[in-house]
Amino acid sequence: MRWRPGPIVILLGLAALVPVLDLLLPAAFALSEAVRTVFLYAILALGLNVVTGYAGLLNLGIAAFMAVGAYAFGILTCEIYPFQFGFWSALALTLPIGAAAGVILGAPTLGLRGDYLAIVTMGFGEIVQDVLKNLDSITKGMQGINPLPAPALGGEQWTADDERKWFYLLFVLLALTVLAVRNLERSRLGRAWFSIREDELASRAMGIRAERAKLVAFATGAALAAFAGGLSASLLSSTGEPNNYDFQASILALCIVIVGGIGSIAGVLVGALVMVGLNSIVLVKATAWMAAQGIGSQGNVLLSPNNWKFLIFGLALVIAVRVKPDGLLPPRLEGTRR
C-alpha cells in the first residue's frame, strides 16, 4: 500500500514552511511570531487533550499547570535564586514538576464525578493565581520573575533576534510532543483511557485500574502544560504576571480542543491554528490596522477588537458543541469512535 501523509503530517509540514513564506510577504504580514504562539498553545492543548479528550476528565484549570511550569522554570534559572540551572535542564525539569503538581491535585480529587472535578480544577486554577500574587517575596507578585535565559546551542547564547531559531525549536518540540502523544494514544494505556471515557464501570469490570489510569492522564496533561509554561517563560524572558494564567487561558485551551476535535491530535492542531489565530493574529492585526486608520478605541468599547474576545470564545464553544460536537477534525482511530 502506498504511504499517504495524514492530516497531522500535512499540518506540521505547512507550519514548517511559515518562515519561508514570511520571506516572500511584506514585513507587516509576517506570521512566524504569531505562529510561535500557536505552537505553544498547541502543546498546552495537547496536554489538555490527554486529560479531557482521552480520559474524559474536564479540566478547567490547565493554565494553572502552565503557571507551575513557568514559575518553576523562572525559579530554577533566574539569577536572583540560588539554583541557576541552564535552559535545557530547567526545561526538562518542568515535566516532572508539572506531573507532580498534577498528582497532588489529582490524587484526592479524581474520584469525584465529572462536573465536580471540573469545578475543583477551576478552583485550583484560581488558588494558584492568588498564591502567585500573594507570595510576592518568592514570586515577585505582579512583576513576574525575569529576566530568564534563552536556550544556548553549541555554546552560543541565543538572543531575542534569533527569531527563526526560536521558531524551529518550538516546531521541533511540538512535533516531539505530537509523536509522544500519538504513541500514548495507541498504547495499552491510551486504550484504557478511551475505555474509561466510554464506560468506567465496564472498564473496571474488565480489569482496568481506572484510578491509576486517570491519575496518569492527569499527570501527563499537567506535565505537558508545565512544559509549555516553561517554554513560554523563556520565550518572553519573564514569567509575566500571574493573571496571564487565568481562567480565560484555560478556556482558550478548552476551545482549542473542543473546536478542533476532542480526542484528536490533528484536531487540536487545527483548533490551535483557528483559535490562537483569531486571538493572536486576527484580533491583534485588526487592532493595529484600526489604529493606523485613526479609528480610535477611545470612548467606544465596540471599536476595540480585543473587547470581542469573550464573545468569540463563548460563541465558539456554544456553536461547536451544538453544530459540530466532534470538532473540525474528529478522531479517526479505529474502534474509538464515539
Partner 1 sequence: MLDFEVFVQQLITGLSNGMIIALIAIGYTMVYGIIELINFAHGDVFMLGAFLALTLLGLLGMESWGPWGQAGGVATMLAASALFCGGLNWSLDRLAYRSLRRSSKLALLVSAIGCSFICVNLGLFWGGLPMEVFGGGMAAAAPKDFPALIPQTNLLGDSFIRITPADLLVVAITVPLMVGLTVMVKRTRLGRAMRAVAQDGVAAALMGIPVDRVIGATFFIGGALGGFASVVYALYNNTIGFQMGTRAGLDAFTAAVLGGIGSLPGAVLGGLTIGCVRSMSDQYLETRWTNTIVFGILVLILIFRPSGLLGAARREKV
Number of residues engaging partner 1 in binding (CB under 8 A): 48
98 within 8 A of 225, measured Cβ to Cβ: yes
Query: What angle is formed at CA 236 by the lines to CA 234 and CA 239, rounded to 5 degrees?
Result: 75
| Interaction between residue 302 and partner 1 (CB under 8 A) | yes
Does residue 313 belong to the site contacting partner 1 (CB under 8 A)? yes
CA distance 47 to 39: 13
- What are the Cα distances from residue 100, in Å, to 106, 195, 216? 10, 25, 11
Q: Please, which residue, 281 or 321, has the CB nearer to partner 1?
A: 321
* Binding of partner 1 by 205 (CB under 8 A): no
Query: Is 114 near partner 1 (CB under 8 A)?
Result: yes
Look at strands 156-157 and 152-153 and give their pairing. antiparallel
Distance CA 258, CA 321 (A): 7
What is the residue type of 102? G
**Residue 89 vs 134, nearer CB to partner 1:** 134
Tell me the three state secondary structure of residue 131: helix
Interface region with partner 1, contact rule CB under 8 A, candidates 12-20, 121-129, 142-150, 186-194: 121-129
**What mask, x for binding partner 1 by CB under 8 A, covers residues 129 to 158?**
-xx-xx------------------------
Question: What character string, x for contact with partner 1 (CB under 8 A) and - otherwise, covers 60-79?
Answer: x-------------------
The binder of partner 1 chosen from 115, 155, 292, 334 (CB under 8 A) = 115
Q: Is 206 in the site for partner 1 (CB under 8 A)?
A: no
Which listed residue (146, 287, 307, 336) binds partner 1 by CB under 8 A? Answer: 307
Q: Choose one: 42-50, 149-157, 264-272, 320-328; the region binding partner 1 (CB under 8 A).
A: 320-328
Stretch that binds partner 1, among 19-27, 69-77, 128-136, 220-228 (CB under 8 A): 128-136
Q: What are residue 86's phi and psi, to 5 degrees?
A: -85, 175
Give whichever of 68 and 316 is closer to partner 1, judged by the CB atom: 316
Does position 201 interact with partner 1 (CB under 8 A)? The reply is yes
Helix and strand counts by DSSP (H, E) for the chain = 15, 2
- What is the residue type of 138? I
CA distance 61 to 133: 17
Report, in Å, the least distance between residue 127 CB and partner 1: 5
Q: Please tell me the distance from the alpha carbon of residue 139 to that of residue 239, in angstroms, as a whole number.
A: 9
User: Is 182 one of the binding residues for partner 1 (CB under 8 A)?
Assistant: no
Residues whose CB falls within 8 Å of the CB of residue 271, separated by 6 or more in sequence, listed in order? 45, 255, 256, 257, 258, 259, 260, 261, 327, 328
Q: Does 83 bind partner 1 (CB under 8 A)?
A: no
CA-based Rg of the chain, rounded to a whole angstrom? 20
Q: Which residues bind partner 1 (CB under 8 A)?
A: 52, 56, 58, 60, 108-109, 112-116, 118-120, 123-124, 126-127, 130-131, 133-134, 199-201, 247, 251, 254, 258, 298-302, 307-311, 313-318, 321-322, 325
